[in-house]
Structure 1
């Protein structure tokens, strides 16, 4: 399937990373399930996908609160990242998005805007030989308020020197689309893995 882009022209493309550039959400979920099983913490798959774009530390803190747990955030975060890195060799790009990266690279600037850590984003993009395509990475820790707040996308636009209304955002989650809309940016919704299987 092809992504239908809104009418441009756009002066910059801003991409979420996990589930948008890289088909990493299934791998992240495997890592989450492994680490959370050590704490008897339940994390249903539909909840995992609905929280796409939420920083890792925030996910752990929210699960603690909801389930009355006391998982140490920094330790669980480190262990989850380690488990993700162990299975990273299985990572693939999302073909519908890769097509636009290849077609427009060098013509307009690109940024990654992610709720994941910089280490995770860098590792994912390095595995797929895509890291050098992006002019800047905005990751967890670079902003105060995460998606659906507009702050992460506004930081990316400012770093690229492009007005928000001239940016096109590629996102796979509702939270990300809300963030882009709040930033005054046009967006295109990337289908989830099971949606891509149905229509491809």
Structure 2
């Protein structure tokens, strides 16, 4: 059943990637667990989902502070990305979001606004066969202030040439919803999925 957006004159759709377009959060969590275990660092699952939408470097820095560690940010980030890439063949699209993409593609411009790296976002979208649906990608490094700051969404709107009030955001995290609201955009909340990795996707 298609999720119903709030009423509005929408001229562009902006999507988070992980957990919104790509059902990748369980894979990302497993990659984080494996990468961090090499440094004796724990990352509780509830905290992982609470921090959804934050850039990878931000998360590692916060885990260092939280656990009194000094993990090298760039090295841990690379290792986590390597592990995630190895699991990509298991990746699928989120059905609720895919319905909206298929319904509006060719009628409205689309953008992805993600706290993940461009490499990771591109690989995920290519794996699920949706990379060519998006007119622009706004990823970590393209903007300075992560969600819940609205900067990423506002940048995507400017790149598409659409006023913020005419953009509809699809998000799975509270920080993402807050960022959309701060940008003056309506939003659709995608239910979070915690599919066990060893069972694959649905």
Tell me if TM exceeds 0.5. yes
Q: In structure 1, what is the equivalent of residue 69 of structure 2?
A: 69
User: For residues 72-83 of structure 1, what are the structure 2 equivalents within 5 Å?
Assistant: 72-83=72-83
Distance in 2 (CA, whole Å) between partners of 1:165 and 1:82 is 38
Aligned residues: 196
The Cα offsets for residues 109-139 of structure 1, whole Å up to 9 and x where unpaired, read as: 0000000000000000000110000000000
Structure 1: gaps spanning 5 or more residues? none
Structure 1 residue runs of 4 or more that deviate by more than 2 Å after TM superposition: none
Distance in 2 (CA, whole Å) between partners of 1:36 and 1:131 is 29
Q: In structure 2, what is the equivalent of residue 38 of structure 1?
A: 38
Compute the displacement of 1:84 (Å). 0.1
Q: In structure 2, what is the equivalent of residue 141 of structure 1?
A: 141
- Name the SS for the 2:102 alignment partner: helix
Q: In structure 2, what is the equivalent of residue 122 of structure 1?
A: 122
Normalised to the residue count of structure 2, the TM-score between the two structures is 0.95
Query: Does 1:9 pair with 2:5?
Result: no
Q: In structure 2, what is the equivalent of residue 189 of structure 1?
A: 189
- Name the SS for the 2:154 alignment partner: helix
Normalised to the residue count of structure 1, the TM-score between the two structures is 0.96
Q: In structure 2, what is the equivalent of residue 170 of structure 1?
A: 170
Q: In structure 1, what is the equivalent of residue 113 of structure 2?
A: 113
Compute the displacement of 1:9 (Å). 2.5
The Cα offsets for residues 22-55 of structure 1, whole Å up to 9 and x where unpaired, read as: 0000000000000001111110000000000000
